[in-house]
Amino acid sequence: MPDQKPPHGPCQAGQNSDAELPLDLEQGAEAVEESSLAEPIDVSELDNEVSDSPESGPRLAQFRIDRNRRFAIPFLTKLWPAKVHYLSYESLRGYVGCNGPDCVLCAVGQAATDLYLLPVYDPITRSVQIMLVTGALRPTALRPQLVPLLKRLSKERIFLTLQKTSQLDFAVHGQALPAGADDGAEIIRGFLDRLEEGAIHPSSALLQYANEVLADIPEVRNALHFGSPQE
Ligand SMILES: [Zn+2]
């Protein structure tokens, strides 16, 4: 998928889901088995530019999974839920945060879906990034393969090997962290401190636009001419 720039700069990153509490995998499997989304998993090419503006706060990068083998060191057993729209417009492709009850994307009939956000340490870029996990529960989807591996974290440090094997399928493996490997301890600690302070939020890895900005996307503007059932 080509790397397409959104038509406008990001704004209000993370505002929508700051109140969302993460799911805790240690509370049992049923806590994360309730959703049954079967959307194609596409860790899309989203804008990862860092913004330090006071409105949006610092943004986290997305951990992208593609046909190349990627490594990730998980350190949390929590998944942050986020309501998103997957846009496949010519002018904008990727996951965009839903703006809630008065969301323009909802108003033009774009389906909102649930995503789960998992912070992981990427030992290649030496940074904490956010893995986007859909609710899909097929055995070859991401989440059913991740959950049992994350549960091992209470007993041991592991690293994950992740690779997309088709548009919908993933190969995910977990192994004990080799002795002497970079475990990201210091960078992870810094991330956890900022998370606890509320200085950063996993949802900042998603694109979030104000309704006025969304209404200005050509495809949305065209759809708005036809009104919506709410009007
Ligand atoms: Zn919406």
Every domain of the chain and the residues it spans: 23-222
Ligand 1 center–CA 171 separation, angstroms: 31
pLDDT-based confidence at 34, cuts 50/70/90? Answer: very low
Alpha carbon distance, N-terminus to C-terminus of the chain: 36
Ligand 1 center–CA 137 separation, angstroms: 23
Ligand 1 center–CA 112 separation, angstroms: 6
Mean pLDDT confidence for 113-136: 95
**Contact by Cβ (8 Å): 133, 116:** yes
Ligand 1 center–CA 197 separation, angstroms: 28
pLDDT digits (tens, 9 = 90+) for 150-199: 999 999 999 999 999 998 899 999 999 999 999 999 999 999 999 999 99
Secondary structure class of 58 (helix, strand, coil): coil
Q: How many CA atoms lie within 13 A of 51 on its CB side?
A: 18
Ligand 1 center–CA 151 separation, angstroms: 32
pLDDT-based confidence at 91, cuts 50/70/90? Answer: confident
Ligand 1 center–CA 45 separation, angstroms: 20
Whether the pTM exceeds 0.85: the reply is no
